[in-house]
Structure 1
Amino acid sequence: MKHLSFYTSTVVLAAIPLTAVFAHPTWIVGQTVRTTSGPVDGHAASVASGVSEYLGIPYAQPPVGGLRFQPPVRYKGTRKLNGKDFGLACYPSNITGYDADFPKELVEQYGITDVGLKIIESILNPGLPVGEDCLTLNIWTKPQTGTKRKAVMVYVHGGSFVSGSSAERVYNGQFFADQEDVVFITINYRLSIFGFPGSPDLTQNLGLLDQRLALEWVRDNIASFGGDPSRITLVGESAGSASVDHHTFAWANDPIVSGVILMSGTARGIAPRTPEAGAASWYNTTSLLGCGDATSITSPEDLLRCMQAVPAASIIKTLVSTLNSPTSSPYSPTIDNQLVFADPSTRRAAKVAMLVGNTDNEMALMRVLTANDPGDALVHELSQVTFVCPAAARAARSAREGNPTWRYRWHGVFPNTQLATRPGPSGAYHYSEVPVVFGNVDQSLVKNTRAEERVSGFVRGAWAAFARDPVKGLLRYGGEGGWPRYVEHERTLARIGWENRTGLNLEVGNRYDQGCTEEGST
């Protein structure tokens, strides 16, 4: 794949001594780095050969045996880690609901393209090796060039809290590190019942605690990779974005990060489970596995020991199909009023900069997974309720509290990101911007257009500009006048990829907020 470096951050100034330009002028690509997890070897990234890539670094002890369904425990090691391979993906639930090929009737009904089928397959069935020993992270860095202490970006993947992995090709961070003078990191966290068990007798929201421990690892170790621990931005998309928003409330006093980027997801929009729903999911599984339930005489301690002894594969077989579930999120963050709150609007949030937005046709992806077409009106309403209105409310609150705040809407639609030919399920759907932002759009069927390369470089540069300076970075980005901070009734909403053009296309902040209330609902 050819990647154009439109917004490279490499500095070449002959008049300045090398010691002032380079953070580590003697850095060797892939050199061994000492961490709290042990020394780790790296290697050159697959395309950007000047980038050092470190894969599969454990940040927590394997959550197996007596650590299953327990909060993560920090990993400390002394043996050398080879850093060559991604770690296992965390165990998913059954997200697809399909046992064979994607249904032909849906292909015909929606005009799903070959590109669209490949995209759906990559989302629903990535084909990665999975296991419980999955709490690892990956780092891409280029310390031999650019600033001495680079801004750091930590990415939390999406997947409805039941699927996804930092090993997915789309999340490879080499182009961020190569072109934008940042250190880029992706993380794994426990999914499904392993990350969000729902038991009333256990610590809730283990997946969020995993993310937090990974962030603490980054804070403690990233300077050794050329990163600046005082300039960490937490980024997420979909469930990952909702996770990032949960962090702003759960750790308001100690967020670690200086900025957050919320891509299509908020703590309120992707609503958490009630304690009752979490408990019902938990006891459904424990009962099926013969470990007891809420009405049995088995003690909570005995029930837990039973569940810790059951093979993981047996647990997976009991989990409900996410698409066929009567509830939208059968395994997800659960309200515990410690990390996850019933009404985040009543909670104090971290004082950090925020970049928040969503795609132009969010629910189109969900639409093609549904045999009974819900129709344009309902799809629009669901997009507003789940994504647009909560993003509007979150941006308004952040700005009102004096945090540097920016808001965007993604409009880019390219030949190799097009999902379907029918107008309803096509357009800029949920997740469609992610491969473009990373510069990792699949090229096997259709190559990138030049316009796509330009937009890809532009949006990647914008995200990195925010990370490098969360207060002023975007004010100087995007051409004359820059990108202004968000004001609801002023032209401050950036339409990115508008008509597949590079640059900012500014619109009135609440241009797309039809039916939204201040609380983020319709």
Structure 2
Amino acid sequence: MRPSSTSLMIVLPAKTVCLSASGHQRRLVARAASLPVIAWLYGGGFYTGGANVPYQNPIQWVERSQKHIVVSINYRLNIFGFPNGAGLASTEQNLGFLDQRLGLEWIRSNIANFGGDPKRITLWGQSAGAMSADFYNFAYPEDPIVHGYILHSGTAQIALSVDANNHSNFTYVASHLGCANLTAAAELSCLRRVPEKEIISFIENQSNTGVVPSLAFSYVPDNRIIFPNYTTRALSGRFSKKPALIGTTTNEGAAFAAYDRTSGPDPAEATFYTLSTFLCPTVQTTRDRYAAGAPTFRYLYGGNFSNISPQWWEGAYHSSDLPLVFGTSGIARGESTSFEKEVQDQMQDYWVAFAEDPVGGLKRVGWEEYEPEGGGVLFAWEGVVRQGIGVGKLEGACEGLVPKEGARPP
């Protein structure tokens, strides 16, 4: 949970810079030559997360490449970022998304001072961060700031929003913190005076003890950033149409299904989560983008490395691809294998190639745009670092669940 205002962490080749909205704290600042910039949005279900998660630290990646900059954008979460309070206007409910936009505006205006190229900014996110990036794609079609998107395990097609007209969670918190039985405006004003530490403590206690109701704060449709039908908007061309690198992992659902530590989750339940929440929405997004003429590159990650997935049944679970890109797979449970390092280097190089040139960077290394009769790239599968995967294997499990794509416009 993150109550504070927008802040940034910039990782340059050999240097790190920390910035916050309240002031600049600079250490080891160095200028570099007009490098491509990757802006990172963390996941966490819009409930938890932050730019200081150890396995999401890009220092190793940036040090290895010496060719790009990574900026991690902190944004408000939970009740602070997505309050859904009755006293707020409908356009002021998704505050965390406004933080993300503010972060990108700052990057555009200032990254040249740190050696970055403001015309080559790629927005990268995972899970809720990837959803955020895709929402952003639709919210700012005329001025996206970025020139490409990288979406790990999340798109705008994933449905997690709460009922915009149900303000009970906000009122429940307010009523337990001395703001009960008030008008909507008075309730909001009262809760704003409660110290943020008290709000955090109450919500954490509510969550950790399993007390009913479960307090789920998430984004709500507002027709400013969140819209009701993304396929309709995509097919009518109401998004930025910037190139996107989009993918999922082969066993996303293992991270969400109930499981026995020895035998793992029920395979059917894990598969259900993998398909319904991640793979099939990604297929829908890919097909919509193709029909709208937006360049898309698809990948599937299948790595099963013991220092990332210690249980035999975990495999390529949700977020298990991130340590490969960040270069942090060896920080927790032992050194990476030589094969794991090969996969890491390949993925890192491809992601940088996309950031350098979202249209042609991947094509130059033999990765073609998505087409219905084509496919994508499969990483870390059966001892092969990178291999092609046909559309049947990539999307076949979603047939009947996702409509066929329409004809691509000329």
Superposition TM-score tier, normalisation by shorter sequence: 0.7 to 0.9
Does residue 54 (structure 1) correspond to residue 4 (structure 2)? The answer is: no
Q: Which runs of 4+ in 1 moved over 4 A?
A: 322-329, 368-374
Q: How does 1:190-201 map to 2 (within 5 A)?
A: 190-201=76-87
Match of 2:3 in 1: none
1:362 and 1:346 map into 2 onto residues whose CA distance is 27
Per the normalisation by structure 1, the TM-score is 0.68
1:197 and 1:386 map into 2 onto residues whose CA distance is 24
1:326 and 1:465 map into 2 onto residues whose CA distance is 48
Q: How does 1:48-127 map to 2 (within 5 A)?
A: 51-55=14-18, 57-58=19-20, 60-61=21-22, 81-83=25-27
Q: Secondary structure at the match of 1:291?
A: coil
Match of 1:228 in 2: 117
Match of 2:154 in 1: 265
Q: Secondary structure at the match of 2:382?
A: helix
Any conservation in 2 of the 1:354–1:406 contact (CA below 8 Å)?
yes
As a proportion of its length, which structure holds more strand? 2
2:178 and 2:170 map into 1 onto residues whose CA distance is 13
Deviations 1:312-362 (A, max 9, x none): 222124324289588998111111121112222222211211111110000
Q: How does 1:145-184 map to 2 (within 5 A)?
A: 148-180=33-65, 181-184=67-70
Any conservation in 2 of the 1:141–1:182 contact (CA below 8 Å)?
no
Q: What amino acid is the match of 1:215?
A: L
Instruction: Indicate which of 341, 347, 355 corresponds to 2:245.
Output: 355
Match of 1:470 in 2: 358
Query: For residues 437 and 392 of structure 1, do their structure 2 counterparts lie closer, same or farther at Cα, with a shift above 3 Å needed?
Result: same
Deviations 1:236-288 (A, max 9, x none): 001111111110111122111110011001122142222034x1211111122
Instruction: Indicate which of 220, 223, 234 corresponds to 1:337.
Output: 223
1:400 and 1:329 map into 2 onto residues whose CA distance is 38
Higher Rg: 1
Aligned sequence identity (%): 34
Q: Secondary structure at the match of 1:458?
A: helix
Q: What amino acid is the match of 1:365?
A: A
1:369 and 1:438 map into 2 onto residues whose CA distance is 28
Instruction: Indicate which of 234, 238, 245 corresponds to 2:127.
Output: 238
Q: Secondary structure at the match of 1:363?
A: helix
Query: For residues 381 and 445 of structure 1, do their structure 2 counterparts lie closer, same or farther at Cα, with a shift above 3 Å needed?
Result: closer
Any conservation in 1 of the 2:62–2:70 contact (CA below 8 Å)?
yes
The RMSD of aligned alpha carbons is: 2.9
Q: What amino acid is the match of 2:284?
A: A
2:9 and 2:309 map into 1 onto residues whose CA distance is 39
Match of 2:318 in 1: 430
Any conservation in 2 of the 1:142–1:183 contact (CA below 8 Å)?
no
Any conservation in 2 of the 1:250–1:338 contact (CA below 8 Å)?
yes
Q: Secondary structure at the match of 2:390?
A: strand
Query: For residues 182 and 373 of structure 1, do their structure 2 counterparts lie closer, same or farther at Cα, with a shift above 3 Å needed?
Result: closer
Deviations 1:56-75 (A, max 9, x none): x01x35xxxxxxxxxxxxxx
| Runs of 5+ consecutive residues of structure 2 not aligned to the other structure | 1-5, 406-410
Query: For residues 337 and 369 of structure 1, do their structure 2 counterparts lie closer, same or farther at Cα, with a shift above 3 Å needed?
Result: farther
Shift of 1:41: 12
Any conservation in 2 of the 1:41–1:81 contact (CA below 8 Å)?
no
Match of 2:202 in 1: 318
Deviations 1:357-388 (A, max 9, x none): 11000010123578998622122122111101
Query: For residues 41 and 215 of structure 1, do their structure 2 counterparts lie closer, same or farther at Cα, with a shift above 3 Å needed?
Result: closer
Q: What amino acid is the match of 1:81?
A: Q
Query: For residues 432 and 322 of structure 1, do their structure 2 counterparts lie closer, same or farther at Cα, with a shift above 3 Å needed?
Result: farther
